[in-house]
Structure formats: C-alpha cells, structure tokens
Amino acid sequence: MQLIDIGVNLTNPSFADKHQAVLERAYAAGVCQLVLTGTSVEGSEQALELCQRLDDTGERLFSTAGIHPHSASDWNADSARHLKDLLTQDRVRAVGECGLDFNRDFSPRPQQEKVLEEHLALAVELQLPVFLHERDADQRLLEILREFRDQLPAAVVHCFTGEKKALFAYLDLDLHIGITGWICDERRGTHLHPLVREIPRNRLMLESDAPYLLPRTLRPKPKNGRNEPAYLTETLREVALHRGESQEDLAAHSSACARAFFGLPIISD
C-alpha cells in the first residue's frame, strides 16, 4: 500500500535537523511521495532545497511555491518574479499555498484577494495546478476562481474543513479536495464524516499538513504532540471508514489522483 501526502510543512522549525528521520518514518509507514508546502518566497525556496538535498532520485519529494494569505501583506513588486523563477523548477509542481483566510484576517482582505489573483494569473501563464487555502471565505474564493477556472489546469482546496454547501460548490467548479486529520477531531471534524462520501474518487487526496493537525484518534500519541507524514495512515483509516471503502482501495485511488494532479512519477522500486 502506497500513500501520497500532498501537503507537509517540512520547512517548519519544529522539523529542523529531523528531516531525514521524519522522512524515513514516512517511507516505512507507506507514505512514498510527499509534496512540501511553500507558504512564502523564502519558505518555497527552502522547500525546493529540501527536495533536492533529501531526494537524489527525483522520485519522492516535490514542492509548491506561493505566499499564504496570512502573509499577503508581504507581497511586493519582486514577489511574482521570484515565484515564477521557482515555479519553473522541475521539483515545484503547483502554485501555492495561496488563497483567502477570513477567519484570522492576518492580512487585509482586499490584499488577500489581490495576491490570490496574482497567484492564479501565474498558474494560468505557467499552466500549473493551484494549492488553495480557504477559511471562512468560500463564497469569495469561488467568485474569484470562476474568473480563472476555464484557464486553470486544476486546483485543490487543501485541508477542506467546510460545510456541505461549500463542498458541493467546489466540486461543481471541478476542484479537487484535500482531507487532513481534521476529520479525526471529535470536537470540530465530525461534520466531515458524511461529507467525505460525496467526494468523487478522482477528486479526493489526503494530506498530513504536518506538523499541524495531529489526528486526535491516533494511538499512541507522540509525546511531543507534533504531527508527521507517517501518521497519514490514521487519516486514511478514518476517511476509509466514513467512505465505506477499504484502506487499500482509498490509498490506491487517492494516490492515483495525486499523481495525476501534480504530475508525479510512479516509484520505480
């Protein structure tokens, strides 16, 4: 059984000096390929560097390049140029993480919207898929996406935590959906249990979002409380349960979906 983790924040300081061990545990758990999330220009550069340094085969580690909506205020005249340079690198397979976050509003909403449009324009120009973030902003995100959707090759709403109306609207726009350990949270994720059944097989992907969102159903829990890609198997178990599928079937079709979305190779061994 092989899994693909489409969203891991391996550049997070909590993983400093632990990258190789984290990856070895992931591979041992069956997580054979990982997409490292870029959330700033500097972070996207670091994600690419980790891919190149930690995977000399060119088969296992890939990344995204973008600026998270929390940091939309950091966008400047050079941002698009730097991101475009990164996005032309072979290991960088998607534009993002980008989007809208009206939950925390760390950057002004008009600036978030402007920066999202800049990312989408890059994705159209380079014909790359988009890795999207959305919190409490589904209607506005949909409005902006509709203007670009016909020209975009693909887009995934990463770490989907919304309600049925938002899910169906995203699916109607032919978007992919990323599910994390949020579904394992009995306090705030149970509404996802019936919803994951509604996601078509060719639109569903799995992600750890590590070091965040440690699955609360995981036993035993790590003493450090830090999520890792190796624990994606717990999210797999929970999603398979609520979709009425075997874990093997879910792993196979979600990984096939991720390979097609990001253009990932089939592991040779």
Q: What integer is the mean pLDDT of 47-66?
A: 97
Q: What are phi and psi of 139, to 5 degrees?
A: -65, -45
DSSP codes of every residue in 200-245: -TTTEEE---TTS---TT-SSPPTT----GGGHHHHHHHHHHHHT-
| pLDDT number for residue 59 | 96
> Mean of the pLDDT values across residues 197-222?
97
How confident is the model over 3-8, as a mean pLDDT?
98
**Dist CA 124 CA 122 (whole Å):** 5
Q: Is the pTM of this model over 0.95?
A: yes
d(CA 69, CA 87): 18
| Structure tokens, 259 | 């390979």
Whether residue 123 has pLDDT greater than 80: yes
Q: What is the pLDDT of residues 210-233, one digit of tens each?
A: 999 999 999 999 999 999 999 999
Average the pLDDT over 235-250 and give the result.
98
Q: What is the mean pLDDT of the chain?
A: 97
Residue 268: pLDDT over 90: no
- Per-residue pLDDT, averaged over 160-171, amounts to 97
